[in-house]
Structure 1
Amino acid sequence: MADEYQSEEDEFKTPLPLQKSKKKITENHHEDGAIDIKVKRISEKPDRISPIVAYFSSGYNPCAQSEEDVVESPKVTVYKHKAEAKKRLQVVVSPPGANVEFVGTNYSGEAAARQTCMYSLGVLDKETQTLRILPIAYNKIIRLEPRVKGSETVESEDSDSDKVITKDRMAKLNRSFGTKDAINRDKKRHALNLGDDPEAKELLESKLNKVDVKTSALESTSSIVARNIPPYDASATTPEEVYPIEKIIGKGEYNFLQDIHRLLEQGTEAVTDAYPVFVRNRLDMLRDIQDETEKETMSVVLSFITHLVKFNDLNQMNGYESAKDHKFPGIIRQKCESLFKDSDVKKMHDEKRALLISYVVALTLHVDKFKTNPADIAKDLRISDVNIRKHFENLGCKISRGKSGSLATLPVPLQFPQAMRKKRKR
């Protein structure tokens, strides 16, 4: 990859300091082993890809080999997004003869966080006494994660039957390198395959006969699965556990949601109109919280609500001007793009917007201790009071009327509204 830059490099010579000596030394070599080198700095070109630096998080060593056997080098493939503006790269390293490959990108995971350093790669050729300095592709260091290939069986190059990786081998690899969801799927698939064994089938049927399945329970389950809402726990015994904050905001995202907490620490009283009305109306409540952990958590929640509201504005005509200059942390913007937009379209679909509003509604319940007036957040989301009440009800809230307006509360155990069926006219 570095050879592609040879015709574009600017060459200059930087000799290292020489030590005075009366002894005869060879040309460009000194008595103490120092050499004169030519430093060639190669600039990045838009029509050529720069070198990529990737490392294995699992400890896999692609160069490891025994004294007897010479291990074949793994296959390295680099994929680039066809749109030049996106500048997305994916690196795939496939060890020979294995059903596991290592995948890393420059747009997800730790690579999506803000980059504060610039990196370069130096390659020293002792024969030509040349040091070439090349830029790293998009200044990214890519972390390679193990992934199990999706095929059930993988044949070797010579296609011998004794070299086919069986499903049992696939399951072992999956247990070692697969995700938690993949491991659970294998367990369920294994349980279903027991039906081929007569004894296992008889045992499975005896267990199924003991299960009392109610039609009403199945109907309620199917309606819950279809709901367009944040992660929840239907068996929660307290309102705080129904829509857990840690399921909505990852711990790794807390460091990028500290703007409101810093305002409180600095004692800043003035907050610009860039923050939503809901957030500005809760700052006094936030200052009165004595527990520092709770105060920081609520500050993070209010900051995330701000980004969700601005992302909603950014994707609708009547709110674009108020959000076009909003600064999203890279990891937060990527999360919003993946959760609330389809990658193949620019416009946010109605069901994705409804999901975003449900996320906002769930977080406002945490801020107001699960008793909140929906009026100000409805104004921030640019929807009517009637529509915001529907979103609260869809999350299992009860709406009541008081002197100060509507009040949404979240009772437990969680109960979702039942779909109303129209009666047929006779």
Structure 2
Amino acid sequence: MSSGFAAVDVIRTKRDGGVLSDAQIDWVVDAYTRGVVADEQMSALAMAILLNGMTGPEIARWTAAMIASGERLDLSAVRRPTVDKHSTGGVGDKITLPLTPLVAACGAAVPQLSGRGLGHTGGTLDKLESIPGWRATVSNDEFIAQLDEVGAVICAAGAGLAPADRKLYALRDVTGTVEAIPLIASSIMSKKIAEGTGALVLDVKVGSGAFMKSVDQARELARTMVELGGAHGVRTVALLTDMSTPLGLAIGNAVEVTESVEVLAGGGPADVVELTVALAREMLAAAGLPDVDPGAALRDGRAMDSWRAMIRAQGGDPDAPMPTAAEVEVVRAEQDGYVASVDAYAMGVAAWRLGAGRARKEDPVSVPAGVVLHKRPGDPVRVGDALYELRAEDPSRIPAALAEASRAVHIAPTAPTATPLVIERIG
């Protein structure tokens, strides 16, 4: 690709509030991926994008350039309609685990390329690696064969998909530009479009434990991504969902797998079941299967059969016991009343302090570490009732986690007003 551009001119255009041309965008994304544009130059451009934004056409072209930086998977050999889900991340958000096999049990194929946790939000691959033998890496041929046979794959994205995103993502993390909506939207959508799915449902989290703290921010991100999906021929809808309280009772790796299996067995916490079924209905409708009832597949065991097949296909033992933590500290209520709130962010940080998450992407995670809630907002409590427990392999991690978690739970004399889990649908 001939240049005709200087990185500094592209930076100046956006710095001064201008609109980047298609040619400028194509060149800068390609040149950065190849190492022609230096990290410090892309850092300056990312900051200019954060401060001055991008138009809809700019974001669409930027996304297309990121997709073009690598391969695009061809799922035409898969005999079922394909549909994927992406969550913007939260605390206790294990929904991918029961949702993927549930949707597969209902007749669609789910090509779920997932990531690892960083900071207070957990990663789907870290959770599944709690299962002995399960592997996150599959080849493209294995990916397509498993999609066709089992209908469900959860795995790491191959190095060939949107390499520009991998490079830019790492840069945003260390330059204070993670929050730029054009860059978040193009990062998520370039990977999802490159994976070849026919339809996509987005779970955009809102609240203290989410990346987007306000409904307005979340709505802007959701609308941007829904438009990007449409522009690239991928049917896309988004649900804005509440992340002020952790999802379910388990926060961590092995503990979230255990809770997911409870949901697949027809039990589990009501909020996890509600969101899993709501997203499954959206996915099935987007895949052209609007009349299939996902609730029935949870009740009759088909979703569990699908889970076991998916885990086995990637080398895992679905019957292996989950690892348990050596240290367990139970925290009890010091007053009567009702749980008024459980702050998702504080509980997410507590789980991270216990070893369930990582500070840097190369850090290991502890499989059994995490937080298990005994009470949720609205529950009555008496003095001495267990509120939550902290689990760790290393006892020295407990005090710092306790300091975070103790700020999370608030008890009041009256029960709080219930708030909806699904706030809004876009698309």
Of structures 1 and 2, the one with the larger relative CO (CA 8 A, separation 6+) is 2
Give the greater-gyration-radius structure (CA): 1
> How does the TM-score come out when normalised to structure 1?
0.25
